Amino acid sequence: MSVMPARIERLEVPEQVPAGERLTWCRLRWPLGAGSASRVRDVVSEHDSIAIPLIGVASWIVENWWSLLYELSPVEDDGRIAPGWLELDQRTPGWRTRHSMRVADASLLLPDLRVFSNGPGVTWQLRADRGPWPGTTPALQYLDDVLTSGPRPDAVSALGSLIQWTLEQLRGSNLPEANELYERWEYISRTASRSAEAEFCRAAGRLGLDPHDMDDWPQQLCAWMESAPAGQLDQAFSIDLMSFAGDAADLPEIDGALRQLVVEQDLRAAPANVARGCGAGERAGIAAYLVGYERAEQLRRDAGFSPGDYVDLAELLFRARGLTLRTLSAPLPGSPIGAVAGWSGEVAKVLAPRRRGRRPSERFALARGLYHALWTCAEGPRLVSDAHDADQKASRAFAAEVLTPRAAVRMQVDERRMRMPVADAVAEVAGVYGVDDVVVERQYENAVAGR
């Protein structure tokens, strides 16, 4: 288990401390992956624990429960560049309020521990303090940087144990904040995972919305979610739709247009005889981008292409698997959607938007769609989108590697750098492979970095 429940020891504090805080004051030790969310340094020494009241943290957890477990990060979380506060706020306003424990109690210096979905599980990202946090004691700093992921049940256990301990200390107090905490947790605890209520709450969580406070929701969004047939909000297609960054108010219209397209093109799940493997999220302990690279390399080998060869996607699939790929241009709604992938019988279909004069971008989207057709369409059609879940990350890495293998890109760019600027070398190699310059640029950077 990469994330263990915290170790909590009750501490006695003076009577003048407010009751809710006094009853839940504790010494908290919280191992997290290879580090600790409670390792701090003060003016004198380092400590492996912090002394805090847990009522504010527990209340924050139950308030954001569904988002903590199901909403994706709006930025990449692979550890190369850890997202800062400003970037998170710009990409998705309010995201840090829902996901960073640091904002749970304004009167305390809590760890910058961000908890969010990665698709199939939960990611825990702990940021060490590089300098004093505004308005706090400059001498106190959290020390560990950790990025780890684990199954969602482990997250439920770790977060739930904090809430349960807090409620035990508050039992019989009859404090308003204690009663509210109990009522919220009691609803969460009795909401069966297969119930319509839980499905609705999961969908709200993916959108960063509070399922218990719908007054500020767009009216059309409420009607769309409440009228969805049982199981539809948990289908992969719908999860894809709710996972990309965008205005949730647009989802009902986009969903209707996409489902009509799926019917018109007769898109269904992959046939049982297609050896499609599993989604990237099911490959425990392996980064999603590595899954994408691995599968691209294997498919090229199976098809007999050398690293320097330009690849036609339909030819690639036929030579490697004996299967037919049909790619079509289609009017897809919403810019975050790059393609739709599915099957008609034993024919893989990938639909990409019509992009006048943008063939390289379309080719990359089609390659991402091929990834989904082969490995994530077990339950039906999937969307190619800008979301940061494991499957979408793997599809981006797959498309880059299947179209522009890193080793060949590095060799070809390095050869051209001897006689032209790097940007021109990248552009020339991109023309050879029929992709955008940015694909070659990133593949070259990854090759140089040993990724």
**Secondary structure letter of residue 353 according to DSSP:** -
SS3 category, 319? helix
Predicted confidence at residue 164, as pLDDT, reads 97
> Tens digit of pLDDT for each residue in 352-403?
886 655 566 789 999 999 999 999 999 899 999 989 999 999 999 999 999 9
Q: How far apart are CA 309 and CA 263, in angstroms?
A: 36
- Amino acid identity, position 76: E
Least confident segment among 150-164, 180-194, 359-373: 359-373
Identify the bridge partners of residue 365 per DSSP, sorted by sequence position: none
- Amino acid identity, position 335: S
Least confident segment among 21-25, 72-76, 82-86, 114-118: 82-86
pLDDT of 177 above 70: yes
Q: What's the mean pLDDT in 81-94?
A: 68
pLDDT of 118 above 70: yes
Show the tokens assigned to 61: 């957890």
Q: Please, which pLDDT band fits residue 80 given cuts at 50, 70 and 90?
A: very low
pLDDT of 62 above 90: yes
Angle, helices 251-264/219-227, rounded to nearest 10 degrees: 40
* Among 128, 121, 162, CA closest to 146: 128
Q: How far apart are CA 411 and CA 270, in angstroms?
A: 37
Distance of CA 66 to the CA centre of its chain: 14
Q: How far apart are CA 389 and CA 75, in angstroms?
A: 10
Show the tokens assigned to 22: 């006094």
* Among 230, 208, 237, CA closest to 221: 208
Distance of CA 186 to the CA centre of its chain: 28
Q: Tell me how far apart the terminal alpha carbons of the chain are, to the nearest angstrom.
A: 26
**Are 404 and 438 in contact, with CB atoms under 8 Å apart?**
no
Q: How far apart are CA 449 and CA 108, in angstroms?
A: 39
For 356, residues 6+ apart whose C-beta sits below 8 A from its C-beta are none
Q: How far apart are CA 243 and CA 183, in angstroms?
A: 29
Distance of CA 27 to the CA centre of its chain: 32
Q: What's the mean pLDDT in 130-141?
A: 62
Q: Alpha helix locations (H) across 171-303?
A: 176-190, 196-206, 219-227, 236-243, 251-264, 288-303
Q: What's the mean pLDDT in 84-113?
A: 85
Q: What's the mean pLDDT in 309-320?
A: 96
Q: How far apart are CA 60 and CA 113, in angstroms?
A: 13
Name the residue ranges covered by the structural domains of the chain.
7-190, 207-264, 280-449
Share above pLDDT 90 across residues of the chain, in percent, rounded to a whole number: 69
Q: Higher-confidence residue: 255 or 332?
A: 255
**Are 356 and 244 in contact, with CB atoms under 8 Å apart?**
no
SS3 category, 88? helix
